[in-house]
Structure 1
């Protein structure tokens, strides 16, 4: 009997232990009502500490310690869902697709391990913010540029500029992207010399982004970054995603083609993980002569310790590419000439032509900018976290253009080398360069070229524009490239300490070093024998005779520092950045408040071996150190579960860019050097409910002491032309406005979203323009500072009123159609302040308003034995109605101005207007109708 009792007790104990310690896995995919996957959704076993989050494709795997239980799935902006599960010991249960009902368009609770990534949280972080999910980027971007996905967020204006691959630009609240901070996983990517972001170098980001968040205004970033207009935070997927991958391909008009493949190992038992993505994109481009080819690689390796105290991520990504460009801006009249008066040829490219029977464009961009980063997140204890990132970037590449001229004519002359359809006859240029007699439009008879020193010598000179009957010249045209390569290394470290239940303190350091290499090389002599250059001071008076030419090929090996023969200029810019930042956050019940401060010192050094002789101390300057920083604060109060209000304010002392410290590519320091001052204030209100969500905010930003350099004003006949330049002192701007963002899931199948923004972006007060010599940056003697009447002039280059209305409808299960209308108004031309020397100026030219309709179709088919894999179809049509519109203008000529500045008829009275705009304005039209189709298999 005793033995039987022991067996019974042992068996009962075994059953209890087996129940307690039985293990299985539960898997599934989280989507919204439209079938779009939700990355970062939280999945937890009810009543236990076990939890996980969905990966880039909305998939999850969670370990269940019991054979039955409930999963609780939460995702901010969506209604939570509880599901029962059962799993056999050692088995796997797939719950398939789990659909969450939306109640917000925010993605505030993105799961981010690192405290370096300043993601704003809904109803907590007091800033104006919009977030785009990976699924939306994956579906709707198509052939558009990466920043165009933000087009339907308030106060954002995006144009494709010339239309080349990656040549788009973005404005937020009227500020250019030089004054918008772009962060990738907490790492700053704005060029350290000029703040620029070249989207062609980041074309692959759309493939690896988990979420993209635009914070308008000073934003929530703890770093002292150039976030005058806002911050674009990009969070890429990490290596520890669930095992699986995808294969996709896409095609569209303009022979667009893209193929992509990715695979994730998932987190292995030993804590290691890896993720790889490769893609290739190519096409002819929508604009004539803008063909392109780009690659993208993304490799992530990770390790997480068993106790979850340490997490390491090593990421290497790059997007080597080349693309032909449309850099020359045509007048409206030129577009009409090669189209018609009513139907301008908006695809016309004045840089495109043919050479040896093949399409050729002398304007080309080629670049490779790989970025490597190493992230370490250390959970010291339950209240203390240390996050750090080390990163490096070595950019190699250039923009190709033309140097020199023929008979006083540049390659892009409107007449000289044009065919009947407006293309450039590059064969004619090569023939002339090589000494053959040719007919040049606008000249009488055959034109021939004379040798210099026994060779056909190309230079920077365009030659004299002699009378039409003259037949001999010595100048020629070459293709040259301005190299802008760099080596960039940096580190950011942040200590996050929870002081009490309500107070959290962050403290961190930010260090960067940047070396920019700037010089010019010859790519193609186009039939000439040599290039003669006298730019290098130490080579005078003999000059350099160069016969070597370098192809415009992408440099994959960025460690190879090629030894080029250089012409025109050769300088090195060095920037050192040291910064510290801190933030104290209070959070209790319904109130969240923070105060944040950052200080940085930037050092600028210039080295130049061309302009200055080796004995000149200006060959290598000492570092010019400038201190700047910011202080910000704000608070959010949740009135109840539906209503919240917030307010923030900040001050930013922003250091000038490199070319402000050393103007005109000379090594003498700007005597008027000063920091730009930005003061911002913002207030907002949010409403959240099951069926409707809205956010309203107002803002005011003052930007004082803005630096701007321009061409010289007329001084006196004794000063040679093109020897001076101007700087503007006291140039100030005020940007204020109203923003609304709303969405509603009217039914489970129908969802509507809307946006409206209205800005008043104007210059404040008048400015003064001063003149300086280009040779040494010294003031022009006797020049009296001229008043520039800028007060109340509208800031150009971005629509000050934007609105959009969109909807998506699930016609059948996982079959969705969507459409969106985007409207832009109060769009003003870019201005040159030298046009405002008269108090009676007309201000900035307002361009016609326009609206665009985009539409799409999606179908997701679940496949596989457990329906845990999918095949996704997507069709996008952008500018569905083929609207013709002016996206930007470089000039400010009004319809009632006199033609050619004479007292004759105006542009309007002489019929030289297009939709009310004078046809001699230099503009870029936007793209017409484009389409693309993609097919993706997720496994």
Structure 2
């Protein structure tokens, strides 16, 4: 399946997206002695930390390092040797990588492209598959841990990742690259830069295609990347940059499975894996349909960004930097509607090698006889489809239909920063940050799987339902302005929109004299949220006891932050710094309108983040050392617990308040050059990330009315001192680059992760579930600690000089060199040493349940019932690049 053909390429280049100008030249080889971004602290609207001046903990990855080491890894994985960073491949699909920084996940890390925020305005997420192409056009990637240097009112709880793209006035050169990797990975790339002309014009262009499969079975993907930058500098006062970039892609995805499932699929009957080892390649989401790979879950998206940047040097002391940008996201993710005789698609019996039987599902949807769908009766025929909605018509509870939840958006913004040097010591900045976001969230059918149609009954305006017969192809459109859904009469499963209006201002005062620098900054923003449900009837539909309308009206919430810090250079080698800050952050969209309803959360409160940090640095010609101590407290997280049973009523809920996390730790980072031939680098981070105190919940019935404590127990989450899951709290890394002869580079890297705990829902610690005979396991055991693990990577490259500016570079990398089997993530917390009282029922039933539980066995001390992601085994990538 192809995303873009030759005719589409012309259409792609008719738009332009962009980034803020940043004049960082890319090098063909890595200079490990120059780790800084050699620019001033502020470059346009991008807040770039400068070594021994900006008082934040920072690590910088340059373009040549990305080219040399990334290969076919996920883009965030280039940061995996950075202190307090934990990256995984998530489910293992292309672009499904995840990153945690100081124990905080993607939605709590501010990701910027040249200073422009890219976190989703509804949920704060960053979907790296939408940004995979950035690795091709990045000049540098700077990780600012903690508060970061950005002046914007952004959610940098864990830190800030600023991706700096190549500028249009890069020197004149061209590049052609061919990359290969495991499982059919193939990448082709062409890039060309004109350089700056005599009259100030410059252009940079890049186009690439990447396709193949990931390490997992059933993980095919195809992705493109395009980048166009046009720069114009008519004189020393004005500089204009116009850029357009996007990365349309589709990729098949994977879910967690239990350890027992991986072991069952790895008993020697599949892919040559020897008995006793888990089959790390197993993917439970796929099968074949008409002889071709088919999956329940495919992500498809195109998120082109265009921007126009203007830097105006108003005087020797004043400068105005402005960027106007727009993003047009189009795409979504597929899933499954319906069931067969009460069983969802994952409960149906699969093939002997664990694949979904899509051809048999088609047969059943068409009224045919299918054998062995029911795992309990493996030799019996499945009762045929009775088609209650009409011949060949699927419903939400009868027949299986493939659907896609569309998550498209239009996003417009402007950032403007005025900088004025008040004196030789004082520098002042002030600016605005305005954004408007409209998200489209309909659902569509992507495959009827042999049925004639799907009966949709979710629209209250059409209570009898309507027939959906159109199936959409789950691949992104080459047209960034394409409508989310062409025919609104064919919407299925859901139909709502989200609207976010953001406007704010920021200011910063800097002081710099001799060896001392300091700053104080503040920002304020108003976020207005509106939910639009196109399937309800104005003034008639009732939710939570309230009559609601199609449009909720905007709910405005104010947020702000305050930061201050200072750096002192003790001498030419030593410096110390510190910073402190407070953030009052607005809740996400689903916190304002919980449970996908039109009713505003009656207990809205901002999250509060208080952070402090101390740092020390040492610099010499060969040795660089950074040491940081930090403490971050995150309070008033929103959490809702639903489906609480009180008497005969089951649909009560609780609004949880007071959830607090406390993260503190230490970080060490160093590089050392031994002459011209060996460069060493190392990092170590230790963290203690725990929940602080217990959280309480206020009970409500389905009519949104408070329930008195006398008629029901209070909901209390016993979270105090429970370890935070989802990232390794202790890690170490060592790396070495050897340069034995001119042009040859060999790099080796070792990483170690420890105190990695499983992800969990805080609701599991609800003490109100405890009775005289039953104790929730989480209350006794806490978070599940996973086994520590080590990984080794090895790579090499050789550069052939061909004369003039021409060169040929050969490179290869092997990841997880020793094929280590390890768990990278877990989503359940099933401990091994449970008691009978951790199970419900009579004493006899509890004893039986405990015996059955213990009989399931363990793997490396972890109970086999846990749902996990195994890390990839040994993988490889190689490339050949021609520079001219």
Distance apart, 1:611 and its partner CA: 3.4
Aligned-pair RMSD on alpha carbons? 1.9
Mean CA deviation greater in 644-653 or 445-454: 445-454
Distance apart, 1:786 and its partner CA: 1.2
Tell me if the contact between 2:41 and 2:47 (Cα under 8 Å) persists in the aligned partners.
no
Instruction: Give the SS at the match of 1:333.
Output: helix
| Corresponding residue for residue 631 of structure 1 | 562
For structure 2, list consecutive stretches of 5 or more residues without a partner in the other structure: 1-21, 268-274, 542-547, 768-774, 840-845
| Corresponding residue for residue 373 of structure 1 | 307
Tell me if the contact between 1:907 and 1:913 (Cα under 8 Å) persists in the aligned partners.
no
* 1:886 partnered with 2:823: yes
Match of 1:716 among 646, 659, 666: 646
| Corresponding residue for residue 360 of structure 2 | 428
Distance apart, 1:585 and its partner CA: 0.5
Distance apart, 1:911 and its partner CA: 5.9
Instruction: Give the SS at the match of 2:831.
Output: coil
Distance apart, 1:454 and its partner CA: 3.6
Mean CA deviation greater in 527-536 or 361-370: 527-536
Structure-1 separation of matches of 2:516 and 2:458 = 63
| Corresponding residue for residue 589 of structure 1 | 514
* 1:350 partnered with 2:320: no
Instruction: Give the SS at the match of 2:847.
Output: coil
Structure-1 separation of matches of 2:714 and 2:39 = 53
Aligned runs of 1:487-526 on 2, under 5 Å?
A: 487-526=410-449
* 1:853 partnered with 2:783: no
How many residue pairs get aligned? The number is: 823
For structure 1, list consecutive stretches of 5 or more residues without a partner in the other structure: 1-51, 59-98, 462-474
Distance apart, 1:559 and its partner CA: 1.5
Instruction: Give the SS at the match of 2:104.
Output: coil
TM-score (norm 1): 0.85
Match of 1:557 among 479, 495, 517: 479
Change (3 A) 1:711 1:268: same
Distance apart, 1:228 and its partner CA: 0.4
Distance apart, 1:108 and its partner CA: 3.5
Distance apart, 1:111 and its partner CA: 6.9
Distance apart, 1:362 and its partner CA: 1.9
* 1:755 partnered with 2:683: yes
Tell me if the contact between 2:24 and 2:167 (Cα under 8 Å) persists in the aligned partners.
no
* 1:610 partnered with 2:535: yes
Match of 1:478 among 391, 397, 401: 401
Aligned runs of 1:76-155 on 2, under 5 Å?
A: 102-103=32-33, 106-110=35-39, 114-155=43-84
Tell me if the contact between 2:691 and 2:719 (Cα under 8 Å) persists in the aligned partners.
yes
| Corresponding residue for residue 67 of structure 1 | none
Match of 2:264 among 333, 337, 342: 337
Distance apart, 1:436 and its partner CA: 0.5
| Corresponding residue for residue 534 of structure 1 | 457
Distance apart, 1:708 and its partner CA: 2.3
| Corresponding residue for residue 33 of structure 1 | none
Change (3 A) 1:915 1:651: same
| Corresponding residue for residue 903 of structure 1 | 847
Tell me if the contact between 1:817 and 1:857 (Cα under 8 Å) persists in the aligned partners.
yes
Instruction: Give the SS at the match of 2:26.
Output: coil
Distance apart, 1:709 and its partner CA: 3.2
1:773-817 Cα offsets, whole Å, 9 max, x none, are 67x655567544311100000000000001000101112111111
TM-score (norm 2): 0.91
**Structure (1 or 2) with the larger CA radius of gyration:** 1
Tell me if the contact between 1:770 and 1:783 (Cα under 8 Å) persists in the aligned partners.
no
Structure-2 separation of matches of 1:630 and 1:54 = 30
Match of 1:269 among 176, 198, 206: 198
Change (3 A) 1:810 1:773: farther
* 1:320 partnered with 2:248: yes
Instruction: Give the SS at the match of 2:82.
Output: coil
Structure-2 separation of matches of 1:772 and 1:130 = 47
Structure-2 separation of matches of 1:246 and 1:111 = 29
Structure-2 separation of matches of 1:800 and 1:409 = 40
Distance apart, 1:771 and its partner CA: 4.7
Distance apart, 1:451 and its partner CA: 2.5
Distance apart, 1:197 and its partner CA: 0.4
Mean CA deviation greater in 517-526 or 448-457: 448-457
Distance apart, 1:158 and its partner CA: 0.6
Match of 2:574 among 622, 638, 643: 643
Mean CA deviation greater in 381-390 or 106-115: 106-115
Mean CA deviation greater in 336-345 or 446-455: 446-455
Change (3 A) 1:771 1:879: farther
Distance apart, 1:835 and its partner CA: 1.9
| Corresponding residue for residue 604 of structure 2 | 673
Structure-1 separation of matches of 2:24 and 2:482 = 41
Match of 1:459 among 391, 395, 399: 395
Distance apart, 1:560 and its partner CA: 2.3
Structure-2 separation of matches of 1:128 and 1:454 = 64
| Corresponding residue for residue 567 of structure 1 | 492
Distance apart, 1:717 and its partner CA: 5.1
